[in-house]
Amino acid sequence: MEYPQVTILIAAYNEREILMEKLRNCYALDYPADQLDIVFVTDGSSDGSEEMMYDLPLVRVFHLPMREGKLAAVNRAMDRVFSPIVVLTDANCMLNRQALQNIVRHYDDPKVGAVSGEKRVMALGDSSGKGEGLYWKYESYLKKLDSDLNTVVGAAGELFSFRRELFIKLPSNTIIEDFVMSMDIAAKGYRVIYEPNAVAEEMPSANLKEEWKRKVRICAGGFQAIGIFLFLLNPSRFNLLSFQFLSHRLLRWAVTPFLLPLIFFFTAFQAFHGVVICQYFFAVQLIAYAFAALGLLYTNQDKLPKTISIPFQFAMMNAAAYAGLIRYWYGSQSAIWEKAKRQSI
């Protein structure tokens, strides 16, 4: 197997406590050292992150005192990245040893423009990390189906690679840059492949407030991305990609959350008028939403029981669509990601 030059690019804001673990993880990857370039961008960090990494093997550090967000950091670093394959990952995500090998093998196909790895959320004991983890298992399953059919419709930024030649600098107000970057590559006619054996593992959110904040940001970015890529709704030009964008993103993000209340009240009306199948369906909804409501009694993510966390995750994701739409509509969602707190072992 030939090993192309690969750059691992990590935008890290005040991540000093995890950086050495991340570096050890990068050094442990099963990939030739002479073909590996590790770049950290620590713009705005005030914890001395950049100082601890200077002069380390294979590592380059770019630092500016001003913080402008992950996208600005990536845009700036890419001016000095020349490897044919670039891998974006987060400082708090640990990769499996074969991740890079499993990613780069797909680039033997010239039609492949990007490869998305699998995000896994660690479950600690009986924490709601199990609920969050189950959600990401579902997302990964959808990505596999998308990839097998045609192309992934939106990659996860925890582990996302692309051909350097396909990179474009996105506007600074882009909220979820990984999704927009991968969709831009797909719109150019390249495939975005899902690779389940390239894994980025991270801890679950520290509490429900942190998880809500993350979901609202994703939803706000989702609405922004839908506006950017509305031109994909042209099946005569984009074929399967048009269908995937409509079904997986437009309907799922912008339609389904707003249909759920209508379905609830419609089945309630029909149930009270004696329609048996609606009575069963209404009962199922009542039970699910009741369990989800119980989740509001818990302030700590790690104390949320699994029987509650699964319906709660479903309800919270759909509720976040409303908050995300408001933030997007009024332009109140900053593109600069506020660092989310994660659980510790």
Which of 220, 216, 210 is closest to 304 using CA atoms? 210
pLDDT > 70? residue 293: yes
Percent of the chain residues topping a pLDDT of 90: 61
Give the tens place of pLDDT for each residue, 103-120: 999 999 999 999 999 988
User: Whole-prediction pTM value?
Assistant: 0.89
Give the tens place of pLDDT for each residue, 9-55: 999 988 989 999 999 999 999 999 999 999 999 998 888 888 888 88
Distances (CA, A) of 45 to 62, 73, 205, 339: 11, 12, 21, 12
pLDDT, averaged across the chain: 88
Give the tens place of pLDDT for each residue, 322-345: 999 999 888 877 666 665 555 554
Give the tens place of pLDDT for each residue, 63-103: 998 888 888 999 999 999 999 999 999 999 999 999 999 99
Q: How would residue 126 be classed by pLDDT, with cut points 50, 70 and 90?
A: very low
105-119, 128-142, 156-170, 184-198: least confident range: 128-142
Q: What domains can be seen in the chain, in order of their start residue?
A: 1-345 (3.90.550.10)
Q: What is the dihedral of CA 62, 67, 68, 72, to 10 degrees?
A: 10
**With b meaning 16 or more CB within 10 Å and e meaning fewer, what string describes 90-108?**
bbbbbbbeebbebbbbbbe
